Amino acid sequence: MSTDTPGSQSSLHRANLERVLRAVRMAGSLTQAEIARGTGLSAATVSNIVRELKESGTVVVADTSSGGRRARSVSLSGDAGIVVGIDFGHTHLRVAVGNLAHRVLAEESAPIDVDVSAAQGFDHAEALVDRLLAEAGFRPDKVIGVGLGVPGPIDVETGALGSTAILPGWTGIAPGRELAERLGMPVHVDNDANLGALGELVWGAGRGLSDLAYIKVASGVGAGLVVNGQIYRGPGGTAGEIGHITLDEAGPVCRCGNRGCLETFVGSRYLLNLLTPTLGGELSLPRVVELAHQGDLGCRRVIADAGRQIGTGVATLCNLLNPRRVILGGDLADAGELVLGPIRDSVARYAIPSAARQLSVVPGTLGGRAEVLGALALVMSEAGDSSALAVARS
């Protein structure tokens, strides 16, 4: 693992070097002044480390301007390692290949059957990864890690998917271990809401923030929480299960076994059930959102009511965590103000005024790509810093 040449680096120097690398990797590109501010290192130390990283081919440095002044921007070299993101959804599989300079080199999504077995899903993912790596022109040994998103909570101790996961045939399977064996690459796993939060934090509506929540409303409802710039998972990995906040003790039975959970009022299956009697046929959430934009009153009403219920959950989150921004993801986010307005109304009604005042509620800017880009960001945040150096020097 170590790439030290004898006697050349003290452990302090090594630690400083890794701090610089981590800052650049999460931001994509930073000026030397920004690196100094972000890491607390002196300008001279940053300058020395950047020179060293440049000589080893780990970073590239370009002239730019910052606030009208000349500056030098530092980004990781495109050759410093390849990352792969895989997002398994309820009905889709999406794969992206990117480099550490935050460039997405190849990306593709494919529909999958909701009742597909885990083994079939992995076959499909494996084939897609192989094809996209070939398309991007990289050998598998250039990959420093794979980020894998699954639609359900991952048990921190066993790595197994919990029973409330949306893919019925997957319960009890440890998807990270399984995929790592098949691909022969290190795999980092997280649930889709956490990855959506990471994607929006690094590439989208959450850039530059350190405290936010990403709420994904689709078949299920979940939240990814970013606290102090890091995903908060809780000791068991189930933090952010906002879909199972109880709204009505006598409400409909939820797949978690409780009654009246938020999800039973706003999950796509429940919303579609409300509209099927009047609209009939093969309804989907994207179709309902489209009809609402065209002025269909029933669809608008159902979306507005869902917004009010989501807002009740957001108000609770706001009181507990005081995030700066709540980012809405999933199909319902495409309804824009039709859903965001009612969310804000509920937040104004139920949250503590001082917490509500600091909160903005916005749609995600990455759409359906948030999770797969978050999977890339997961590798960037979790892969050891030495791996990028090792690849660059090999």
Binding residues vs Zn ion (CB under 5 A): 244, 254, 256, 258, 261
Q: How far is the CB of 259 from Zn ion (least distance, A)?
A: 8
Nearest distance from C-beta of residue 39 to Zn ion, angstroms: 42
Q: Residue 256 or residue 390: which is nearer to Zn ion going by CB?
A: 256
Q: How far is the CB of 308 from Zn ion (least distance, A)?
A: 19
Of 329, 322, 327, 328, residue with least CA distance to 356: 322
Nearer CB in complex with Zn ion: 24/261: 261
Structure tokens given for 359: 């909160």
CB neighbour class for 306 (10 Å; exposed up to 12, middle 13-18, buried from 19): buried
Nearer to Zn ion among residue 216 and residue 244 (C-beta): 244
DSSP 295: T
User: Which CB atom, from 313 or from 364, has the smaller least distance to Zn ion?
Assistant: 313
Backbone angles phi, psi at 391, to 5 degrees: -65, -45
Long-range contacts of 236-244 (CB under 8 A, 24+ apart): 236/155, 236/156, 237/153, 237/154, 237/155, 237/156, 237/191, 238/153, 238/162, 240/193, 240/194, 240/213, 241/153, 241/164, 242/215, 242/313, 242/316, 242/317, 243/267, 243/313, 244/164
Q: Look up tokens 């000589």; give the residue.
A: 55
Long-range Cβ contact pairs of 267-272 (< 8 A, separation 24 or more): 267/217, 267/218, 267/219, 267/220, 267/221, 267/243, 268/217, 268/218, 268/219, 268/331, 269/219, 271/302, 271/303, 271/306
99: its two tokens: 């480099």
- In terms of CB distance, is 244 or 344 closer to Zn ion? 244
Residue 126 beta carbon to Zn ion: minimum distance, rounded to whole angstroms = 33
Q: Which is nearer to Zn ion, 36 or 261 (CB)?
A: 261
CA dihedral 24, 129, 89, 327 (to 10 degrees): 20
3-state secondary structure of 342: helix
Q: Which two tokens stand for residue 158?
A: 């066993």
**Closest CB to Zn ion among 60 and 256?**
256
**Closest distance to Zn ion from the beta carbon of 330 (Å):** 17
Q: Please, how many CA atoms are within 13 Å of residue 301, restricted to the half-sphere of its CB? A: 5
Smaller CB separation from Zn ion, 247 or 362: 247
Minimum distance of Zn ion from residue 262's CB (angstroms): 8
CB of 260 to Zn ion, least distance (A): 8
**49 contacts 21 by C-beta, under 8 angstroms:** no
d(CA 334, CA 330): 8
Question: For residues 47 and 270, which CB has a smaller minimum distance to Zn ion in the complex?
Answer: 270
In the complex with Zn ion, the residue whose CB is nearer, 37 or 259, is 259
* Minimum distance from residue 222 beta carbon to Zn ion (Å): 11
CB of residue 376 to Zn ion, shortest distance in Å: 30
324: its two tokens? 């700066």
Max CA distance (Å), the chain: 76
Find the shortest distance in angstroms from Cβ 246 to Zn ion.
8
Sheet of strand 69-76, all strands in order from the earlier edge strand to the far edge: 29-31, 69-76, 59-66
Considering beta carbons, is residue 73 or 309 the nearer one to Zn ion? Answer: 309
Q: How far is the CB of 244 from Zn ion (least distance, A)?
A: 4
Distance CA 301, CA 194 (A): 29
